[in-house]
Amino acid sequence: MNILIKNVKLVDYNLNFKGDILIKEGIISKIDENIKEKGIKTIDGKGKTLMPSFVDTHAHFREPGYEYKEDIETGSKAALKGGYTGVLLMGNTNPPASSKKVIEHVLDKSRKLDLIDIYQAGTITENLDGQTLSHLDEINDLVGVITDDGKGVKSSKVLYDAMIYAKEKELLIMSHTEDPDFTDSDMRLAEDMMTYRDIELAKITGAKIHFAHVSTKEAADRIIKEKKSYPNISFEVTPHHIFSYDKIDYRVNPPLRKKEDRNYLIECIRKGEVDCIGTDHAPHSKKDKEMGAPGISGIEVAFQLLYTKLVKEENIPLERLSQIMSKNTADLLGIKKGRLEVGYQGDLVLIDEDREEILNPDTFVSKGKNNPFKGEKLYGKIISTIRKGKIMYWEEN
């Protein structure tokens, strides 16, 4: 698809200037101060900001098995409303993403819908049993990431063997760091202890490891220090752990931490030490949430939460936010998105930075309305999301 956007503030990890951008055949063709092109759809972006669309390293669309919470179509539409055109899905579905059949179902449905680019993670252990790895031979050519997200791998030997396999097959291990021996007594220690163990196993095996939803300052500090000598480590933080802390009572896993943890993570973002934002979009039905299911539905307000907290309140450059929501996340998944550069995919998001909006989960496209930030005043309204030069979401739709 072809489209020209003019008079817009262009921002990515390395760019901030007013100009025009031309997308031809779905690819960024030209970026300049005044592009003239006849016979092409043109948008006047005056007063707006154009960024690369966002890529999510961590989301749950619940299909197969829990479609009453979310499905691939509603999750994809929620992603578009939030400015995302690429999403890595976790494998704790029902049945889990431990077989070719389940993974192909997700990928085939995504291709038929053709709304966003979906990447399905496989499970480290078969059906999340914490022990079996024999299924990996069946799925390794369909996935780039394996994770037992939602549980973590308790056995050090099993994870060691999985890391050996992942290194050989060039798969990324995503670690859900929660030591079950501490889950009922100390969730902070549960995260920290498994983080330390998984770092050491990765260093021993040479595996590439990505830490999901890091929330404590101790875990983040250890990862950052180890990255200096072992570059195959990366980590993500979530919008909700950045926007708030344990001043509110809302069940999410890992829990909302102390104010000092939140502030430490913000400073890590400021210094460029955080690699990625993973939304951990976790939609639930009202009944499931009332029964204690952990998680927040938030992919369609993730940017607004982060923009409000980091850019508006903490004066962190918008370029930094683009780096951890677009460039780094796309690089981690090995896809050619996330930058305003000629030759990259024409996936863009048009934003009104100054527009106020009161968060109301009832207006979510997602089936999950479970979000604790109802009534918060947010900035950074998503006006439009463009994928491969095609307008996939416009706020008036």
Active-site amino acid positions: 280
Q: Are strands 145-147 and 117-120 parallel, antiparallel or unpaired?
A: unpaired
CB contact at 8 A, 369 and 286: yes
> Alpha helices of 206-285 — where are they, by DSSP H?
217-227, 239-243, 259-270
CB contact at 8 A, 86 and 61: no
Compute the distance between CA of residue 329 and CA of residue 116 in angstroms, rounded to an integer.
15
Number of H helices, E strands in the chain: 12, 18
Handedness of CA 315, 316, 319, 325 (dihedral sign): negative
Q: Strands of 84-89's sheet, edge to edge?
A: 54-59, 84-89, 117-120
Q: Which of 283, 246, 303 is nearest to 370 (CA)?
A: 283
CB contact at 8 A, 293 and 270: no
